[in-house]
Amino acid sequence: MLEFDTVIIGAGAAGMMCAGHAGGRVLVIDHAKAPGEKIRISGGGRCNFTNLHAGPENFLSQNPHFAKSAMARYTQWDFIALVERHAIAWHEKTLGQLFCDNSAKDIVAMLVSEMRAVGAELWLETGVQAITRGDAGFVLSTTRGSVRGLVRARNLVVACGGKSIPKMGATGFGYDIARQFGHEVTETRAGLVPLTFSGALLEGLKALAGVSLNARVSCDGMSFDEALLFTHRGLSGPAILQISNYWHEGAAIVIDLVPGRSAYEHLRQRRVEAGRKGVATILAELLPGRLADDIAKRLELTGNIADYADARLQQVAEALHSWELVPSGSEGYRTAEVTLGGVSTDRISARSMQSALTPGLYFIGEALDVTGWLGGYNFQWAWSSGWAAGTAISQG
């Protein structure tokens, strides 16, 4: 049996971050062929590794205060400093989102380098078959074989994420470990995911596939002003991914197609200036052409804009500012960027990420019931929670 001080299950963002700070003899285990696979594919291959505006208010959890401690002690500025120490060039894209200039692989290489610097060992293409706990710590049976595959450690860190992107091997294994040691798991569902539609509504949206525009999308008291994209399945784009975290089955989303402008005032003004123009033509000044034509047809807007009284223009404006749609569902974990819900934070220390039920057991990253907005927030939670657990272990 091999002896370690700490075993970390999951060589993703949180797991590797933790390994670089835990100290002692550390082993990181992952079933994948390479570490940091979700990092590698993130941000279009350039990894949106944090956000300048990251804070606890950008996260969903049954305990909205849980993320405060870790994020206050290891901030986006701390991670940016780490990135710069490794001479990784980066840039701000929009809304505080930071990306690598070159490749997401630079972030993976940085984390692997940090692990190697402290002597952490990495086992890839290795599964964990069973976990037990005794007086001497945790014993893990792995797929490496009956003797060499047995590992014992004083600390066990669960960093194997959630269910999103199952084609990369994502499972609910971390939740199984939590339940084994008496922790509750809150309801999980796909997050940061495109929304789907059915029936006649879907047929109408299909005709607009490929059309994109900036919009304000609202649901459950939240609103996001970002790009919206029509697809063959329904709606996608950053604004939809953001609101998907707040949408629940049967609820409506409300779309403002011309946020920050008064569609009514524009229509009235154009009625004076260009009264002989068709309504669809005037709408195309506010919206992409295909969408303008679709709305004109759906609202039965024919003839010239000079033919429309103020009351009718007000109705058209309200339709543009408050388009209400009820999705039939989402694309699910297949395309979801994150998993909402997870290991309940009720019996987890917000400072150290350690279980209050089982000393030496830690949960970090996406496995926990902490989910960030789109835009680098979930990576920052991985860095902050991984750092919190790692430093707690090293100081313990």
DSSP 72-121: HHS-HHHHHHHHHHTT--EEE-STTEEEESS-THHHHHHHHHHHHHTT-E
The whole-angstrom separation of Cα 256 and Cα 56 is: 27
Q: Which residue has the tokens 């609103």?
A: 223
Buried-state track 340-360, b at ≥16 Cβ within 10 A, e below 16: bbbbbbebbbbebbbbeebeb
Query: Do 108 and 42 contact (CB within 8 A), yes or no?
Result: no
Q: Is 356 helix (H, G, I), strand (E, B) or coil?
A: coil
The whole-angstrom separation of Cα 372 and Cα 366 is: 9
**Fold adopted by 195-330:** Elongation Factor Tu (Ef-tu); domain 3 (2.40.30)
Closest CA to 121 of 39, 17, 19: 19
The whole-angstrom separation of Cα 350 and Cα 150 is: 31
Residue 167 pLDDT > 90, yes or no? Answer: no
pLDDT at 262: 97
The least confident of 168-177, 207-216, 316-325 is 168-177
pLDDT at 147: 59
Question: In terms of C-beta density within 10 A (0-12 exposed, 13-18 middle, 19 or more buried), how is residue 310 classed?
Answer: exposed
pLDDT at 171: 86
Question: pLDDT tens-digit profile of 360-391?
Answer: 999 999 999 999 999 999 999 999 999 999 99
Query: Do 15 and 157 contact (CB within 8 A), yes or no?
Result: yes
Residue 133 pLDDT > 70, yes or no? Answer: yes
- Bridge partners for 91 per DSSP: 99
- Bridge partners for 235 per DSSP: 195, 230
% of the chain at pLDDT higher than 90: 94
When pLDDT is cut at 50, 70 and 90, the band that residue 146 belongs to is low
Q: Is 252 helix (H, G, I), strand (E, B) or coil?
A: coil
The whole-angstrom separation of Cα 113 and Cα 92 is: 24
Q: Is 325 helix (H, G, I), strand (E, B) or coil?
A: strand
Provide mean pLDDT across the span 92-109. 97
Greater confidence, 310 or 163? 310
Residue 267 pLDDT > 90, yes or no? Answer: yes
Provide mean pLDDT across the span 190-198. 97
Specify the domain boundaries for CATH 3.50.50.60 within the chain: 2-189+337-395
Provide mean pLDDT across the span 299-313. 95
DSSP H helical segments within 256-326, as ranges? 263-273, 279-283, 289-298, 310-321
pTM score of the predicted model: 0.95
The whole-angstrom separation of Cα 174 and Cα 356 is: 17
Residue 145 pLDDT > 90, yes or no? Answer: no
Question: pLDDT tens-digit profile of 220-255?
Answer: 999 999 999 999 999 999 999 999 999 999 999 999
pLDDT at 228: 98
Provide mean pLDDT across the span 135-140. 94
**Fold adopted by 2-189+337-395:** FAD/NAD(P)-binding domain (3.50.50)
The whole-angstrom separation of Cα 268 and Cα 285 is: 13
Number of H helices and E strands in the chain, helices first, is 13, 21
Closest CA to 375 of 103, 34, 47: 47
Specify the domain boundaries for CATH 2.40.30.10 within the chain: 195-330
Question: In terms of C-beta density within 10 A (0-12 exposed, 13-18 middle, 19 or more buried), how is residue 180 classed?
Answer: middle
Residue 46 pLDDT > 70, yes or no? Answer: yes
- 219's enclosing H/E stretch is strand 212-219
Q: Which residue has the tokens 């700490």?
A: 6
